Amino acid sequence: MARTVASLLDCASPGTGIMFELAARLIDRLWRLLATGFAFAAFFCGGALLAAFVFPWLVIGQRKPAARIQEFLRNVFSFFLWLLQILGILRLDIQGGERLASCRGRLIVANHPTLLDVVFLMTLVPRASCIVKSELWHSRYLGGVMRAAGYIRNDLPAEELVRQCRNVLDDGGNLIVFPEGTRTQPDQRPRFLRGFANIAILAEADIQLVVISCAPLTLTKGEPWYRIPPRQPRFCVEIAHEIDVRNFRAERERGIGSRRLTRSLENFYLARLGHG
């Protein structure tokens, strides 16, 4: 399509070339708008159908259904990500993905610029668990899936929350955490809550850092799905270095160690993303 338009532009007058270019941009944007609507409708409708009719069968006869559900969810997210790319909604560049593929018992920490961040991580991380909002835990359709997948509700008492996180990590699973707690507002510097640091120190879990970027930005906090960017967005998921939490556990008070760890990660993401 792009080559055809380019060849026509070469043969046309400057004025005609501009018209062709504007028409091509309009067609591209209209296509991405329709494709985005289709993809999200398919995701939510398909998710409701899977929750109602497929997930209940996956747990039948399973003493520990969490691993089976997690692998199935990974395949679902992988298919959705493939669909987004095949429809031309986005481009994805993954750097160092093999590091995530070999992760076991790690706290996967990432920044959170867009709605699709969890899709990328759930696709790349094996045995992935996460801390979910209590609203999802009690959801009529998704609550059973959250429990069967071994996810952890965010309104637990602190000691119980840490205990369940430690159980997931000790069993070889990985725990995905967005320290900001919600999507970052565009052009704002990262502000991390200390909960992830307390979990890492108390559960003695090393941290695998992930940096997510998007240009042009899309699906940010408060932005509707239909406000698509002027051109196809390119997402980059970079698997950065690991952090050994022993350096922070050595502090005489846990609060000091958690604050140091939180500041360290804020500074890392600030340097990599250049906000503020």
Task: Express each pLDDT in 216-260 by its tens digit.
Answer: 999 999 999 999 999 999 999 999 999 999 989 888 788 899 999
Amino acid identity of 138? H
Return phi, psi of residue 236, to 5°. Answer: -125, 125
Local structure of 233: helix, strand or coil: coil
Distances (CA, A) of 136 to 88, 176, 259: 30, 16, 29
Q: Which of the four pLDDT bands, split at 50, 70 and 90, describes residue 58?
A: confident
Distance CA(165)–CA(51), nearest Å, equals 24
What is the rounded CA–CA span in Å between residue 186 and residue 208?
Answer: 24
Q: Which residues pair with 215 in a beta bridge?
A: 234
Return the beta strands (E) in the chain as ranges.
91-95, 107-110, 128-132, 152-153, 174-177, 207-215, 234-243
Instruction: Give how many domains the chain has, as a whole number.
Output: 1
Instruction: Return the structure tokens found at 128.
Output: 């992935």
Greater confidence (103 vs 188) lies with 103
Which domain range does residue 259 map to? 36-273
Enter the tokens of residue 74. Answer: 């990974």
In a domain, 4, yes or no: no
On whether residue 205 sits in a domain, the answer given is yes
Mean pLDDT of 177-204: 90
Q: Examine the pLDDT at 10 and tell me if it is beyond 80.
A: no
Q: Is residue 49 part of a domain?
A: yes
Residue 25 lies in a domain: no
Q: Cα(257)–Cα(115) distance, rounded to whole angstroms?
A: 31
Residue 134 included in any domain: yes
- pLDDT higher than threshold 90 for residue 275: no
Residue 2 included in any domain: no
Tell me whether residue 261 is in a domain: yes
Residue 175 in contact with residue 204, Cβ under 8 Å? no
DSSP for 143-206, please give it. HHHHHHTT-EETTS-HHHHHHHHHHHHHTT-EEEE-TTSSPPPTTPPP---THHHHHHHHTT--
pLDDT at 4 over 70: no
What is the pLDDT at residue 1? 47
Tell me the two tokens of residue 224: 């509707």
- The pTM score is 0.89
Residue 96 within a domain? yes
